[in-house]
């Protein structure tokens, strides 16, 4: 294989990782702050994709891009207020069961409303075509997608690192009792974190609807690799998740590139295993007392 093609595969793999990132960041945030392993996260991604189909005929893809993530985020707040809230202090296995059930309910609801067969949706005409970056020809839509995803990641980072909101959230991840002792209630913060994390999953659904098959179980397809990313990255670490996502995308892409596509899925689990062997808290996982 030529060096050129290998370079292309590396770049493409890194781009691929960015899609996982949108899902994994939300997963990581919700787990770090609330201790909720949100298995329903993929379902919100699917809901985002289906909302795109519903909204586009009226407001176009641009309208869906704005409205769908907001609707999904609001749905996230409702779920947080009514369900997640009851499980913050209990055994994670209970919230695991809750969100597992929630994921099944959501998938079945999509099946009942929209039918089981996949539905069609295409890239809007304005975003079609190819761009040439040097001799690397790439889909214009994916470049747009990358731009949006990077903006989201940077935005989230600024929010967590540079604002008073972010300081409380980070303190809450480390030591919720101390935050409470200082007279700050974490509950409203948790609602906002759920809205952000789940809204990001909805956004990923909107962005991937034009290029992936839209079907009720599409959430399941993305949730497992997203979890792998969170585990590799390590809990409580923003950049850990970012780097893990890129790494997972890279490993998958390169495996296909060098002709071992059959093992491309297995390779990311092997990567996870290796990381856990040498760094049980993940690449950049912080020591969080209540999870030790």
Q: Which two tokens stand for residue 292?
A: 């030790």
Angle subtended by helix axes 187-208 and 41-82, to nearest 10:
160
DSSP, residue by residue, 189-237: HHHHHHHHHHHHHHHHHHHHTTTS-B-TTHHHHHHHHHHHHHHHH-TT-
Q: Which two tokens stand for residue 289?
A: 């007392």
41 binds other proteins (CB under 8 A): no
DSSP, residue by residue, 144-181: HHHHHHHHHHHHHHHHHHHSHHHHHHHHHHH-HHHHHH
| Closest distance of CB 114 from other proteins, Å | 11
Q: Which of 186, 214, 226, 245 binds other proteins (CB under 8 A)?
A: 214
| Closest distance of CB 154 from other proteins, Å | 23
53 binds other proteins (CB under 8 A): no
Q: How many residues bind other proteins (CB under 8 A)?
A: 48
- List Cα–Cα distances, 270 to 223, 228, 232, 264, 273, in angstroms: 17, 10, 11, 10, 5
> Considering beta carbons, is residue 158 or 263 the nearer one to other proteins?
263
> Considering beta carbons, is residue 45 or 65 the nearer one to other proteins?
45
26 binds other proteins (CB under 8 A): no
Q: Which of 86, 90, 269, 287 binds other proteins (CB under 8 A)?
A: 90
**Binding window for other proteins (CB under 8 A); candidates: 7-15, 56-64, 171-179, 187-195:** 7-15
> Considering beta carbons, is residue 252 or 281 the nearer one to other proteins?
252
* Binders in 146-205 for other proteins, by CB under 8 A: none
* Binders in 98-157 for other proteins, by CB under 8 A: 115-123, 128-130, 137, 139, 141-142
Q: Comparing C-alpha atoms, which of 142, 115, 114 is closest to residue 128? A: 142
Q: Which of 212, 279, 286, 288 binds other proteins (CB under 8 A)?
A: 212
| Closest distance of CB 236 from other proteins, Å | 24
DSSP label at residue 131: E
- Chain-centre distance of CA 8, in angstroms? 24
Helix (H, G, I), strand (E, B) or coil at 138: strand
Q: Which of 62, 66, 78, 91 binds other proteins (CB under 8 A)?
A: 91
265 binds other proteins (CB under 8 A): yes
Q: Which of 8, 109, 144, 192 binds other proteins (CB under 8 A)?
A: 8
């Amino acid at each position: 294989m030529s060096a050129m093609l290998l370079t292309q595969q590396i770049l493409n793999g890194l781009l691929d990782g960015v899609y996982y990132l949108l899902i994994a960041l939300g997963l990581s945030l919700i787990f770090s702050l609330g201790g909720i392993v949100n298995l329903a996260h993929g379902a919100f991604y699917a809901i985002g994709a289906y909302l795109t189909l519903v909204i586009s005929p009226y407001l176009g893809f641009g309208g869906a891009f704005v409205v769908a993530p907001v609707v999904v985020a609001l749905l996230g707040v409702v779920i947080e207020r009514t369900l997640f809230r009851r499980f913050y202090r209990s055994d994670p296995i209970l919230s695991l069961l809750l969100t597992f059930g929630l994921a099944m309910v959501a998938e079945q609801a999509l099946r009942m409303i929209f039918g089981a067969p996949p539905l069609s949706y295409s890239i809007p005409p304005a975003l079609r075509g190819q761009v040439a970056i040097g001799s690397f020809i790439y889909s214009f839509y994916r470049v747009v997608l990358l731009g949006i995803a990077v903006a989201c990641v940077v935005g989230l980072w600024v929010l967590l690192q540079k604002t008073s909101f972010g300081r409380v959230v980070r303190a809450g991840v480390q030591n919720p009792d101390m935050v409470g002792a200082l007279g700050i209630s974490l509950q409203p913060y948790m609602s906002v974190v759920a809205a952000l994390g789940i809204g990001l999953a909805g956004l990923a659904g909107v962005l991937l609807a034009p290029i992936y098959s839209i079907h009720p179980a599409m959430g399941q397809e993305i949730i497992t690799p997203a979890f792998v990313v969170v585990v590799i990255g390590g809990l409580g670490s923003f950049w850990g998740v970012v780097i893990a996502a890129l790494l997972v995308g890279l490993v998958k892409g390169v495996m296909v590139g060098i002709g071992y596509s059959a093992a491309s899925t297995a390779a990311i689990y092997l990567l996870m295993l290796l990381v856990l062997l040498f760094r049980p808290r993940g690449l950049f996982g912080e020591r969080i007392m209540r999870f030790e």
